[in-house]
Structure 1
Amino acid sequence: MPAKTKKRSAAAALAMLFATLTLATSGCQGGDGAPPTDNRGPSSGKSVPGSHVLAVKIDNVGPARPQTGLDKADIVYAEQVEAGLSRILALYSSQVPPVVGPVRSARESDLELLRQFDRPTLAFSGAQSKLLPVIAAAPVYALPPGKEPDAYFRSQDRAAPHNLFLRPERTRRDIPGVNAATYAGFTFGPAPAGGKPTATYSVRYPAARFSFTWSAERRQWLVGMDGAPSRTPAGQQLGAATVVVQYVTVRPSQFHDRGGNTTPYTETVGSGTALVLRNSKAYKAEWKRGTAASGTAFTTPDGTSMPFAPGQIWIVYAAH
């Protein structure tokens, strides 16, 4: 065997071993009510393999709950949509559950948000006709049901349109086994000095609300939506290691839903303030993203990097 072929074979074997070990260690989950046993996160110094993050647009109204697979996401984004309601964009890269959903339609601002994740796959149920060419031209791998129908199915336990689910293993997209936060340049490490002791924090949209309550037992911020605990289908309450309330400009876009409601556009390029919840404290922070292709940098008020706690991150966009 030529030397170059041997090197490629050895590299492939090492990559397969790394992926196997990652899946073996990252898929563990504690018992009911217990925190995940895998609570690690990447450091900013790790290299990122040339592969895809999977982003799934997830429904977030009452009939869509409980959602499936949210507890396995690396990052969960919450954003405002039409009529003051909310929707979720969940990113998967270090581990991927067998089912995610319910899947709903994409929005224009998703495309700007996802530019920082190096051409990710975007799974969504569809979009209004005028937005489809914009999605097709964006640097994402668009994955509606029509492109890979075997990856989607309709559940019989709830009514349409809240019953479309994705089977990620059928998308034929490589998953690198690296936390998606690495792509955006987020850093992980010990909590900074200071911070205000905080037991609970809420973010309100015109017709939706997110709440986060610190659990010393689980060492996570337990998630609530619209006044009720947010749970997995098995009944465990969702929990985040770090919650970021990122204050942004939310303006009208050029698009509307079928009811004639204007679609909000959440601007994620620029700069502003943020509030970071971790380890039972709230920290004032600032964010900056110079271009759509750049990651988002979160810093303390004195300009040093704001480290996140290892584990799942929730980023809630709030209008400033």
Structure 2
Amino acid sequence: MPFQNIKGRENILKKILITLLVLTLTGAVAFTLYFRLRPAETSENPIIENVDEDIEIKDDSVVEENTSENYCLTCGQETAPENANLRPLAVIIENHPAARPQSGLEDACIVYEVVAEGGITRFLAIYTHKNCNNIGPVRSVRKYFAEIAKGYDAMLAHCGGSPTGYLAIKELHLADLDEFANSGAYRRVSSRKMPHNLYTSTKRLRERAEKKNFASNVSYESFKFKNDAPLEKRPEETYAIIDFSTPKFKVKYEYNRENNSYSRFMGGMQHKDSNSGKQLEAKNILVLITSIRVVDKIGRVDISTLGSGPAYAFLDGTVITGRWTRESLSNTIKFYDQSEKEIALNRGQTWIEIISPDKKVDFPEFQG
């Protein structure tokens, strides 16, 4: 082989080797500079790899299931583990003007409000994790109150009742704490005239229930709960007005942005609890629209709490238009938005207002 050809090939190989060496050194330098100069990975300045992937952003009002034993099954508030799954007490409380101000409504997890007869509304207050030493005035049961209590497997506290109310208690196999058969759990006060002077307490009712061997813990279908909306997402002010019958029973809720709650007014006046003297505050207001019809000469009504119908949910200063649904009397009433998603409530007291389609609900135009 000629000497010139060998020498030419050696020169070519040297050039290739030099080129590869330069490329290798350049890559190493670039790699080192990248890691020395890039910002450190901290919680304030995270390094995001795979930028094309979806990034999950935490929502302050995330929905949470009631899976923890430290949260009340009924209202979602934090409580002692032994109180989380206590069997609810459902107490009938009257709303005649002579019965105002009532005692103990502020301590209920849920309060249902509905017309009894003659346009006079009445309350079904559900107590689970909180103790209350003074509840009343206690009045008589109606069929629809017994049916609502069934959904919570609640122990029902009342004084007498309509014929259909007593029949519903029997047919639904409710744990009954009627004052007529359990007088030791109740007391009459001298400061008010009968029949507006009957009172009880959660302690007395639970002690009586224990003597009757009623189950103390039960499981039932609860609402979904979430954290309050952040302050910056809450409106400055809003309201909801619900017309049950006459002006004496008209209800208004005024939104409190700082507390993210609704102050309750009734008959144009602040609705206060007699125990504390404070105005009642709700975290959620649910309005259920259903059939309400008069069924006898006394003016008693029949109210449908089965099936489905229109509904409004007021929370976080917004209103959600949707529907309520209940498949059976063993289920609680649930509320859904227009996309058929169950509405998650704020933790705390909820008022559920039951009205007929001809009654008006007033609120500002904006909706959630």
Q: Same fold (TM over 0.5)?
A: yes
Q: CA–CA distance in 2 between the matches of 1:133 and 1:294?
A: 19
Per the alignment, residue 188 of structure 1 pairs with 225
Normalising by structure 2, we get a TM-score of 0.67
For the aligned residue pairs, the C-alpha RMSD in angstroms reads 3.0
If asked which structure has higher relative contact order (CA below 8 Å, sep 6+), I would say: 1
Structure 1's consecutive aligned runs of 4 or more residues displaced over 6 angstroms after TM superposition are 174-178, 194-198
2:160 to 102, 126, 134: 126
- Classify 1:130/1:203 alpha carbon distance in 2 versus 1 (closer, same or farther; 3 Å): closer
Q: Is 1:116 paired with 2:151?
A: yes
Bigger radius of gyration among the two: 2
Per the alignment, residue 130 of structure 2 pairs with 95
1:201 to 231, 237, 240: 240
Per the alignment, residue 285 of structure 2 pairs with 243
Counterparts in 2 of 1:119-198, with a 5 A limit? 120-129=154-163, 131-171=165-205, 172=207, 173=209, 183-190=220-227
Per the alignment, residue 256 of structure 2 pairs with 215
Q: Is 1:41 paired with 2:77?
A: yes
Deviations 1:131-177 (A, max 9, x none): 43443333211112122211111111111111100122122236999
1:285 to 322, 331, 334: 322
Per the alignment, residue 36 of structure 1 pairs with none
Q: CA–CA distance in 2 between the matches of 1:97 and 1:265?
A: 31
Q: CA–CA distance in 1 between the matches of 2:330 and 2:341?
A: 22
- Classify 1:197/1:266 alpha carbon distance in 2 versus 1 (closer, same or farther; 3 Å): farther
Per the alignment, residue 308 of structure 1 pairs with 345
Task: Answer whether contact 2:312 2:320 (CA < 8 A) is retained.
Answer: yes
Aligned length: 273
- Classify 1:197/1:300 alpha carbon distance in 2 versus 1 (closer, same or farther; 3 Å): farther
Shift of residue 304, structure 1, vs aligned partner: 1.4
- Classify 1:197/1:281 alpha carbon distance in 2 versus 1 (closer, same or farther; 3 Å): farther
Tell me the secondary structure at the aligned position of residue 259 of structure 2.
coil
Task: Answer whether contact 2:146 2:156 (CA < 8 A) is retained.
Answer: no
Identity of aligned residues (%): 25
Q: CA–CA distance in 1 between the matches of 2:76 and 2:223?
A: 14
Q: CA–CA distance in 1 between the matches of 2:273 and 2:177?
A: 24
Task: Answer whether contact 2:99 2:137 (CA < 8 A) is retained.
Answer: yes
Q: Is 1:230 paired with 2:271?
A: yes
- Classify 1:163/1:195 alpha carbon distance in 2 versus 1 (closer, same or farther; 3 Å): same
Q: Is 1:82 paired with 2:124?
A: no
Name stretches of at least 5 consecutive residues in structure 1 with no aligned partner: 1-17, 27-38, 43-47
- Classify 1:107/1:195 alpha carbon distance in 2 versus 1 (closer, same or farther; 3 Å): farther
Tell me the secondary structure at the aligned position of residue 81 of structure 1.
strand
- Classify 1:197/1:109 alpha carbon distance in 2 versus 1 (closer, same or farther; 3 Å): farther
Bigger strand share = 1
Name stretches of at least 5 consecutive residues in structure 2 with no aligned partner: 1-67, 79-83, 358-368
Normalising by structure 1, we get a TM-score of 0.77
Tell me the secondary structure at the aligned position of residue 115 of structure 1.
helix
Task: Answer whether contact 1:269 1:291 (CA < 8 A) is retained.
Answer: yes
Q: CA–CA distance in 2 between the matches of 1:213 and 1:243?
A: 11
